[in-house]
Amino acid sequence: MASTVSNKIKFLLASKAIDFANDSFKVVLMDTGFVYDVDAHHGYADISTYELDSGNGYTQNTKELSGVAIEEDDTNNRCEVTWDNVQWTASGGDIGPSPGAIIFDATVTTPQADPIVGYIDFGGEQTQADGGVATIANVKFRLA
C-alpha cells in the first residue's frame, strides 16, 4: 500500500492548524473508481460523494483512528505519523470494492474543515467478503 500526503496537510502543519497528538482523525473507504487528486482534494467535503456507501458492516464517516504515534526519523530525514490498525467486519454482504482510504482531521474547522491528511492506495480494488474482517494495517504517513 502506498500513502500520499495531501498538499493541504503540509500547509496546515506550517500554519500550526494541525495537532497530530490531540486532534481526532477519521478514515473512510472510497468507492470503486475513485482517483485521489492531491491538488484538488483538500477536505472531506471534496471526497464525501466518492465514499463507499454505508451497509454490510461499513458506515460512512464514523471510523475514528486511535493510538497515534509521532516519530522523528533523523536517519531518513522525515517524520512518521502512525495509528493503530483499523477494521470493519463484513456482515450481511460484502464491503467494497474499494481502491483505497482517505484519512482526515475531524477536529479542524478553519481555514479548511476536515482537512485530508492523505490517501492510502490499496494497489487495486479490494473487497471483503461477508463474514470477513477488512483491515488496514500499519496506518502510516511520512512527512518528508
Please provide residue 14's backbone torsions phi and psi, each rounded to the nearest 5 degrees. -65, -25
Under 8 Å between Cβ of 46 and 114: no
Quickly tell me which residue has 467535503 as its cell: 45
Greatest alpha-carbon pair distance for the chain in Å reads 47
Of residues 5 and 33, more confidently modeled: 33
Residue with cell 491538488: 39
Angle at 47 between CA 42 and CA 51, to 5 degrees: 150
Which pLDDT tens digit goes with each residue over 121-138?
999 999 999 999 999 999
- The one-letter amino acid at 117: V
The verdict on whether omega for the bond into residue 99 sits within 30 degrees of 0, i.e. cis, is no
**Strands (DSSP E) found in 42-94:** 69-73, 78-83, 86-89
In 3-state terms, what secondary structure has residue 25?
Answer: strand
- State how far Cα 56 lies from the chain centre: 20
Tell me the per-residue pLDDT of 59-113, one tens digit each, with 9 for 90 and over: 999 999 999 999 999 998 888 999 999 999 999 999 999 999 999 999 999 888 9
Boundaries of every domain in the chain: 2-143
Q: What's the pLDDT tens digit per position in 32-59?
A: 999 999 999 999 999 999 999 999 999 9
pLDDT band at 1 (very low <50, low <70, confident <90, very high): low
HSE (side-chain half, CA atoms, 13 Å) at 85: 7
**pTM, to two decimals:** 0.91
- Amino acid 136: pLDDT: 96
Residue 6 has pLDDT above 90, yes or no: no
Nearest C-alpha neighbor of 98 from the set 122, 125, 128: 125
Q: Using 50, 70 and 90 to split pLDDT, how confident is the model at 144?
A: confident
Residues 6+ apart with CB under 8 A from 16: none
